[in-house]
Amino acid sequence: MSLAQSSRAALARAAPARAASRAHPRLALFAVRPSANARASSEVPSTKSYAGKVVVVTRELGKNGALANVLKSRGATCVEMPLIEAVPGEDLASLPDVLLSENWDWVCVTSPEAAKVFLEAYAAAGAPVGVRCATVGAATGKVLATAHPETFALDKQFIPSKANAATLVKELPCDQGSLVLYPASKKAATTLEEGLEARGATVVRLNTYSTETVESLDLELVAQAVSADVVTFGSPTAVRAWVDLCGAALYDRLTRVPGALQPAYVCIGETSAEACAECELPDVFYPENPGMDGWAETVFLALDLPKSERWGGLNRE
């Protein structure tokens, strides 16, 4: 059995007992609704300190700053442990030529990494005029706007009311025959292209990059991470990487340290939370509206959860 398989098996043995007591059939999956966010904001002053609390941030190297800065401003200690890295996709080289090949009605950009990749191709294509971008959310839009404040200003982009592909499909102004270019992650779901095609648009998807699990982690960093209060995930790939790379160390701690708990897991959105369900991780939180502000607020909500309401760690029957 591989290390990845043994890690998954260990955590699967650890999770089910408490999971059954929650509303979700496989784990404690908390959907933090707007009313919950509002209640938390009124009950927990923005000046409340989280000194002594440890939060692990796991996005690619250099992309954890925004979340970490908010958490640090409230006293939390942030441990940066990138679990994934971006690698070029098979369609990357063709993106500049494809961008120039048509008068695209929209270029859909659905992550900050996709925005970075698109900007490089846009420059390689000679910065063609008339390119209109639809971005999945403000964080992605800001990457474009920062690079080209005039061409890709936020008020010139289309940004849906909720930061996910399904809402972008519903709200994007397009009709029968609209041409849409979609430079995507190889691992992105088909929600966007299938949804827009169902509305009559012609969508060309290019897999311009992929997110892959890092090859290895420092063992001291892993030991610090598995004893943290919260671990954050920005993608399903990061969730699976956590189980594969840290699952064995986490299970060892749960069996060795009396009263030890798993960290609470705080995802940027529902897709990552669903990956937690597949891996049977307990005490999972995500904001109803994906985005940096909601993500940070949800971390604070998870940190406020009393230990008495947390899953107990292991089935010791």
Average pLDDT taken over every residue of the chain: 86
Q: Grade residue 45 by pLDDT with cuts at 50, 70 and 90.
A: low
* CA distances for 176 relative to 167, 172, 200, angstroms: 18, 13, 4
What is the model's pLDDT at position 286? 94
Give residue-wise pLDDT tens across range 214-260. Answer: 999 999 999 999 999 999 999 999 999 999 999 999 999 999 999 89
Please report where in the chains the tokens 């509303």 appear, as a residue. Answer: 23
CA distances, 37 to each of 44, 107, 308 (Å): 10, 33, 21
Average pLDDT over residues 139-159: 96
> Each residue of 69-101: pLDDT tens digit?
999 999 999 999 999 999 999 999 999 999 999
Q: Is the pLDDT of residue 6 over 80?
A: no
Q: What is the pLDDT of residue 33?
A: 34
Instruction: Please tell me which residue, 63 or 4, carries the higher pLDDT value.
Output: 63
Contact by Cβ (8 Å): 106, 172: yes
Q: What percent of the chain has pLDDT over 90?
A: 75
Q: Which fold has domain 87-212?
A: Rossmann fold (3.40.50)
- At 121, the pLDDT band (50, 70, 90 cuts) reads very high
Does pLDDT of 124 surpass 50? Answer: yes
Is 7 a residue whose pLDDT tops 90? no
Dig out the tokens for 118 from the structure. Answer: 């698109």
List the domain boundaries for the chain.
Answer: 3-83+214-309, 87-212
- Please give the average per-residue pLDDT across 12-36, as a whole number: 35
Helix or strand or coil: residue 283?
coil
Distances from the Cα of 10 to the Cα of 2, 76, 242, 279, angstroms: 12, 30, 13, 11
**% of residues, the chain, pLDDT over 70:** 84
What is the rounded distance in angstroms from the CA atom of residue 62 to the CA atom of residue 72? 16
Domains 3-83+214-309 and 87-212 share a fold: yes
- H/E stretch holding 171 reads helix 165-171
| 83 neighbors 241 (Cβ within 8 angstroms) | yes
On the question of pLDDT at 3 being above 60, the answer is no
pLDDT of 5 reads 43
**pLDDT, average across residues 176-197:** 96
Name the superfamily (CATH) of residues 3-83+214-309: Response regulator (3.40.50.2300)
- Kindly report the pTM of this predicted structure: 0.77
